[in-house]
Amino acid sequence: MKALVYHGPGLRAWETVPDPRITAPTDAVVEITSSTICGTDLHILKGDVPEVTPGTILGHEAVGIVVETGAAVTTVERGDRVLVSCITSCGRCRYCKEARYGLCTGGGGWILGHTTDGVQAELARIPFADTSLYKVPEELTDEQVLFLADILPTSYEVGVLNGGIAPGDTVAIVGAGPIGLAAIMTAKLYTPGRIIAIDLATPRLQKAKAFGADLAIDNGVEDAVARVLELTDGLGVDVAIEAVGIPQTFELCAEIVRPGGTVANVGVHGKPAVLHLEKLWIKDVTIRTGLVDTFSTPRLLELIRSGRLDATVFATHRFELGDTEQAYDVFGNAAETNALKVVLSAAPVPQARAPRKEAVTV
- Binding residues for ligand NAD, rule: CB under 6 A, are 39-40, 150, 154, 158, 174-180, 198-201, 204, 219, 243-246, 248-249, 266-268, 291-292
CB of 27 to ligand NAD, least distance (A): 24
Judged by CB, which is closer to ligand NAD: 114, or 204? Answer: 204
> Which residue, among 320, 303, 356, has the nearest Cα to 35 in the 3D structure?
320
> Which residue, among 165, 164, 174, 82, has the nearest Cα to 131 in the 3D structure?
82
Binding partner at 294 among ligand NAD, Zn ion, none, C-beta below 5 to 8 Å by kind: none
CB of 86 to ligand NAD, least distance (A): 7
CB of 100 to Zn ion, least distance (A): 9
Binding partner at 106 among ligand NAD, Zn ion, none, C-beta below 5 to 8 Å by kind: Zn ion
Pair 199, 180: CB distance under 8 Å? yes
3 state DSSP class of 346: coil
Binding partner at 93 among Zn ion, ligand NAD, none, C-beta below 5 to 8 Å by kind: Zn ion
Binding partner at 104 among ligand NAD, Zn ion, none, C-beta below 5 to 8 Å by kind: Zn ion
Judged by CB, which is closer to Zn ion: 93, or 228? Answer: 93
Judged by CB, which is closer to Zn ion: 100, or 188? Answer: 100
CB of 37 to Zn ion, least distance (A): 9
The beta-strand segments (E) located in 235-359 are 237-242, 257-265, 286-288, 315-320, 341-345
C-alpha distance from residue 258 to each of 77, 190, 236, 275 (Å)? 50, 19, 4, 16
Binding partner at 107 among ligand NAD, Zn ion, none, C-beta below 5 to 8 Å by kind: none
- The CA distance from 294 to 309, in Å, is 17
> For residue 149, what is the DSSP state?
G
Judged by CB, which is closer to ligand NAD: 69, or 89? Answer: 89
Binding interface with Zn ion (CB under 5 A): 38, 40, 90, 93, 96, 104, 106, 108, 150
Pair 104, 91: CB distance under 8 Å? no
> For residue 169, what is the DSSP state?
-
Judged by CB, which is closer to Zn ion: 258, or 317? Answer: 317
Pair 308, 190: CB distance under 8 Å? no
> Which residue, among 79, 82, 54, has the nearest Cα to 67 in the 3D structure?
79
CB of 56 to Zn ion, least distance (A): 15
Judged by CB, which is closer to Zn ion: 82, or 196? Answer: 82
- The CA distance from 2 to 120, in Å, is 9
> Which residue, among 184, 228, 188, 227, has the nearest Cα to 209 in the 3D structure?
184
CB of 75 to ligand NAD, least distance (A): 25
